[in-house]
């Protein structure tokens, strides 16, 4: 298993090695030690490789991930798993702002709390946060699921499109055009699947409330013209 | 973008290392702000003594014979310690205002960076590692300090435009962000008698806190007031003689991370700045909440 010690080896060496993997390679498990808050650790993975990061990382860890499984045994700075395409990213600690931003697919699991703007402009990614999330989360979320076992901050789901939001705790406030919606059997089934994938065992899907778009902001409404 | 750092020691045995720890934190933040750097360090206050940190673009002429000239003016010989473009002038605390006035007359090109019983402020343009080396920050000791690496957006790259800003005795502030109501607030504060050295938005924030504390608020209360009265983006780290505070605006897009152990409270724009601190592996590390005031005080803790 290749091990990269970022206190000794430049970050470029790690990311080049990850990008250079060809199909059928035996190097399918990487380990990164001493990440020391480095930016852009393990970005741009495009093969089904496993990366274990032993410590906390800075900006944009595992960004653009396409098929890899990245686990951070620590906390992550802003923009973790930004624009993920597929695969899995697990943060054992907390995540800073805009975790999973613009993600198109894959699963992001945050075992601690996520700060503001979690899942902003999400476009298909599934995000499961074991703790709580900050303000303006899922802003303009287009599709995918955001599941929060704790509480949500102000303006959840502002200007939401079709991302589905599930919060087990309290929501400080809902953003413009975001409303509570009934939890139907298909949502319970999806929640059960996501909780299972995220390793959550002691929580029932029925404990969540669902929030989604009221669909009033989709199109320009001539009746609002005077408000501009 | 800028980088800010702060370190507030609880364990006195770390005090001789404050300059070293803070320097390392600051240099790590170079790529957030490579054009200027500055540091405010709270060393021990000697009984009855006051300190002025002053700066000159021509230290060889401005600082030459300054001690003797002040001796003539004040009737007390000050201790003048020159460090590159800066000098720390120590006088009896009750002569501080008089010394400041005398310097303005004797050497009008000299600028006062900060004054108080404990604080010393060093700031210059250039890479943080060069600024730190120029002033010998690594060898300094103290109980707490804050630092800033600047990437200028709102005003010129000059020594006076660098942070920290000090607008009151033993007070200083570093800022990451930009304020949008600073012109109006500056006018109001000038009317209340505050003095400004620059057109910089962050200096207004510092002066605002000084004015609020002059009205009897403690640091925590003044920072709470800042949330209502300052408009714009900010993460502030501020120091007073015995205190250390942090506040972020409600939008909180400027990054911040904090760490606390039995030995210290530390602040960094990024976690990278904190990785060299002793015991960071087991520290409580968290992101300060938006619109929430955090502050610590040596005197209140004692």
Residues B174 and A91: their CA atoms lie apart, in Å, by: 31
Q: Which two tokens stand for residue B63?
A: 């600082």
Residues B281 and B37: their CA atoms lie apart, in Å, by: 28
Cβ–Cβ < 8 Å for B165, B48: no
pLDDT higher than threshold 50 for residue A5: yes
pLDDT higher than threshold 90 for residue A37: yes
Share of chain A above pLDDT 90, in %: 91
Check A56 against B285: CB less than 8 A apart. Answer: yes
Residues B173 and B217 in one domain: yes
Check A56 against B270: CB less than 8 A apart. Answer: no
Residues B136 and B240 in one domain: yes
Asked if the C-beta of A132 comes within 8 angstroms of chain B's C-beta atoms, the answer is no
Residues B237 and B285 in one domain: yes
pLDDT (0 to 100) of residue A22: 86
Residues B69 and B6 in one domain: no
Share of chain A above pLDDT 70, in %: 99
Indicate the average pLDDT of chain A: 96
Asked if the C-beta of A137 comes within 8 angstroms of chain B's C-beta atoms, the answer is no
Q: Which two tokens stand for residue A105?
A: 């697919």
pLDDT (0 to 100) of residue A149: 98
Check B275 against A36: CB less than 8 A apart. Answer: yes
pLDDT higher than threshold 90 for residue B3: yes
Which long-range CB contacts under 8 A does B289-292 form with residues at least 24 apart?
B289/A134, B289/B248, B289/B252, B290/A116, B290/A134, B290/A135, B290/B248, B290/B249, B290/B250, B290/B251, B290/B252, B291/B227, B291/B247, B291/B248, B291/B249, B291/B250, B291/B252, B292/B247, B292/B248
Dihedral Cα A15, A19, A25, A30, nearest 10 deg: 20
pLDDT higher than threshold 80 for residue B56: yes
Q: Is residue A198 helix, strand or coil? A: coil
pLDDT higher than threshold 90 for residue A228: no
pLDDT (0 to 100) of residue B45: 75
Residues of A in contact with B257 (CB under 8 A): 77, 96
pTM of the model: 0.94
pLDDT (0 to 100) of residue B301: 53
Residues B88 and B209 in one domain: no
Task: Name the domain boundary from B83, B117, B151.
Answer: B117
**Tens digits of per-residue pLDDT, A93-127?**
999 999 999 999 999 999 999 999 999 999 999 99
Mean pLDDT computed over B155-163:
90
Residues B168 and B99 in one domain: no
> Active-site residue B2, yes or no?
yes
Residues 6+ apart with CB under 8 A from B127: B30, B34, B37
Residues B237 and B255 in one domain: yes
Q: What is the largest CA-CA distance in chain B?
A: 55
pLDDT (0 to 100) of residue A220: 76
Q: What is the CATH number of the domain that holds B226?
A: 3.60.20.10
Residues B230 and B164 in one domain: yes
> Which residue of B lies nearest to A59 if distances are taken between CA atoms?
B270
Check A77 against B270: CB less than 8 A apart. Answer: yes
Domain count, chain B: 2
Q: Which two tokens stand for residue A117?
A: 């703007």
Backbone angles phi, psi at A166, to 5 degrees: -130, 120
Indicate the average pLDDT of chain B: 95
Domain with B224, as residue range(s), is 2-44+125-301
Task: Name the domain boundary from B86, B117, B148.
Answer: B117
The secondary element (H helix, E strand) that includes residue B203 is helix B201-214
**Tens digits of per-residue pLDDT, B178-228?**
999 999 999 999 999 999 988 899 999 999 999 999 999 999 999 999 999
Catalytic hit among B1, B2, B187, B284: B2
> Which residue of B lies nearest to A97 if distances are taken between CA atoms?
B253
Cross-strand bridge partners of residue B275: none
Which long-range CB contacts under 8 A does A157-165 form with residues at least 24 apart?
A157/A211, A157/A212, A157/A213, A159/A217, A160/A211, A160/A212, A160/A213, A161/A213, A161/A218, A162/A212, A162/A213, A163/A119, A163/A122, A163/A138, A163/A212, A164/A190, A164/A210, A164/A211, A164/A212, A165/A138, A165/A141, A165/A210, A165/A211, A165/A212
**Tens digits of per-residue pLDDT, B102-158?**
999 999 999 999 999 999 999 999 999 999 999 999 999 999 999 999 998 777 899
Residues 6+ apart with CB under 8 A from A166: A145, A146, A147, A148, A183, A187, A191, A208, A209, A210, A211
Residues of A in contact with B272 (CB under 8 A): 36-38, 58
Distance from CA of B256 to the nearest CA of A (A): 9
Q: Is residue B181 helix, strand or coil? A: coil
Choose from B267, B275, B280, B283 for mutation: most chain A CBs within 10 A. B275
pLDDT (0 to 100) of residue A227: 66
Asked if the C-beta of A94 comes within 8 angstroms of chain B's C-beta atoms, the answer is yes
C-alpha B122, offset from chain centre:
8
pLDDT higher than threshold 60 for residue A216: yes
Q: State the pLDDT confidence band at A222, using cuts at 50, 70 and 90.
A: confident
Asked if the C-beta of A83 comes within 8 angstroms of chain B's C-beta atoms, the answer is no
Residues B153 and B293 in one domain: yes
Of A38, A75, A135, the CB nearest to B290: A135
**Tens digits of per-residue pLDDT, A180-204?**
999 999 999 999 999 999 999 999 9
pLDDT higher than threshold 90 for residue A26: no
Check A135 against B253: CB less than 8 A apart. Answer: no
Residues B273 and B271: their CA atoms lie apart, in Å, by: 5
Task: Name the domain boundary from B64, B93, B117.
Answer: B117
Taking CA atoms, A73 is separated from A10, A97, A98, A198, in Å, by: 20, 18, 19, 15
pLDDT higher than threshold 60 for residue B302: no
Residues B286 and B216 in one domain: yes
Residues B153 and B233 in one domain: yes
| Angle, alpha carbons A33-A38-A41 (nearest 5°) | 70
Residues A22 and A14: their CA atoms lie apart, in Å, by: 15
> Hey, what CATH class is A3-212 in?
mainly beta
> Which residue of B lies nearest to A79 if distances are taken between CA atoms?
B255
Mean pLDDT computed over A65-90:
98
Of A37, A38, A96, the CB nearest to B287: A96
Check A97 against B272: CB less than 8 A apart. Answer: no
């Amino acid at each position: 298993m290749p091990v990269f010690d970022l206190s000794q080896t430049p970050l470029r060496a790690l990311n080049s090695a990850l990008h250079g993997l060809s199909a059928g390679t035996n190097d399918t498990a990487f380990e990164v030690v001493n990440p020391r808050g480095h930016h852009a650790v393990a970005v741009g993975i495009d093969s089904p490789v496993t990366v274990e990061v032993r410590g906390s990382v800075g900006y944009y860890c595992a960004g653009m991930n396409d098929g890899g499984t990245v686990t951070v045994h620590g906390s992550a700075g802003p923009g973790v798993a930004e624009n993920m395409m597929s695969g899995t990213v697990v943060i054992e600690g907390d995540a800073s702002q805009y975790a999973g931003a613009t993600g198109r697919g894959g699963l992001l699991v945050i075992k601690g709390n996520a700060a503001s703007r979690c899942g902003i402009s999400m476009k298909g990614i599934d995000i499961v946060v074991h703790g709580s999330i900050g303000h303006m989360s899922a802003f303009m979320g287009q599709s995918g699921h955001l599941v929060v076992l704790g509480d949500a901050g102000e303006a959840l789901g502002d200007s939401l499109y079709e991302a589905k939001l599930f919060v087990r705790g309290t929501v400080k406030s809902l953003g413009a055009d975001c409303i509570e919606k009934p939890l139907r059997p298909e949502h319970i089934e999806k929640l059960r699947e996501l909780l299972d994938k995220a390793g959550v065992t002691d929580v029932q899907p029925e404990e969540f409330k669902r929030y989604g778009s009221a669909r009033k902001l989709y199109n320009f409404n001539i009746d609002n013209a005077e408000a501009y | 973008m800028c980088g800010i750092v702060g370190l507030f020691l609880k364990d006195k045995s770390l005090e001789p290392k404050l300059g070293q720890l803070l320097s390392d934190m600051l240099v790590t933040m170079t790529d957030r702000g490579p054009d200027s750097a500055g540091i405010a360090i709270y060393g021990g206050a000697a009984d009855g003594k006051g300190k002025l940190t002053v700066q000159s673009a021509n230290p060889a002429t401005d600082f030459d014979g300054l001690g003797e000239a002040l001796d003539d003016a004040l009737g007390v010989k000050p201790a003048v310690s020159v460090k590159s473009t800066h000098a720390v002038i120590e006088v009896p605390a009750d002569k501080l205002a008089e010394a400041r006035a005398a310097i303005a007359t004797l050497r009008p090109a000299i600028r006062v960076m900060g004054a108080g019983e404990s604080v010393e402020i060093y700031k210059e343009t250039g890479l943080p590692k060069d600024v730190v080396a120029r002033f010998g920050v690594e060898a300094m000791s103290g109980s707490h300090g804050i630092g800033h690496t600047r990437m200028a957006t709102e005003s010129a790259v000059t020594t006076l435009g660098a942070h920290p800003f000090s607008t009151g005795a033993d007070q200083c502030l570093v800022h990451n962000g930009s304020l949008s109501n600073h012109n109006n607030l500056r006018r109001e504060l000038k009317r209340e008698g505050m003095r400004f050295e620059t057109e910089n938005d962050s200096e207004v924030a510092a002066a605002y806190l000084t004015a609020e504390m002059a009205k009897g608020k403690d640091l925590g209360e003044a920072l709470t007031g800042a949330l209502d009265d300052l408009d714009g983006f900010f993460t502030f780290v501020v120091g007073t003689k015995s205190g250390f505070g942090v506040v972020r605006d409600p939008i909180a897009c400027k990054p911040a991370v904090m760490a606390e152990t039995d030995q210290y409270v530390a602040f960094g724009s990024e976690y990278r700045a904190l990785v060299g601190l002793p015991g960071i592996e087991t520290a409580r590390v968290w992101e300060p909440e938006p619109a929430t005031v955090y502050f610590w005080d040596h005197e209140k803790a004692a």
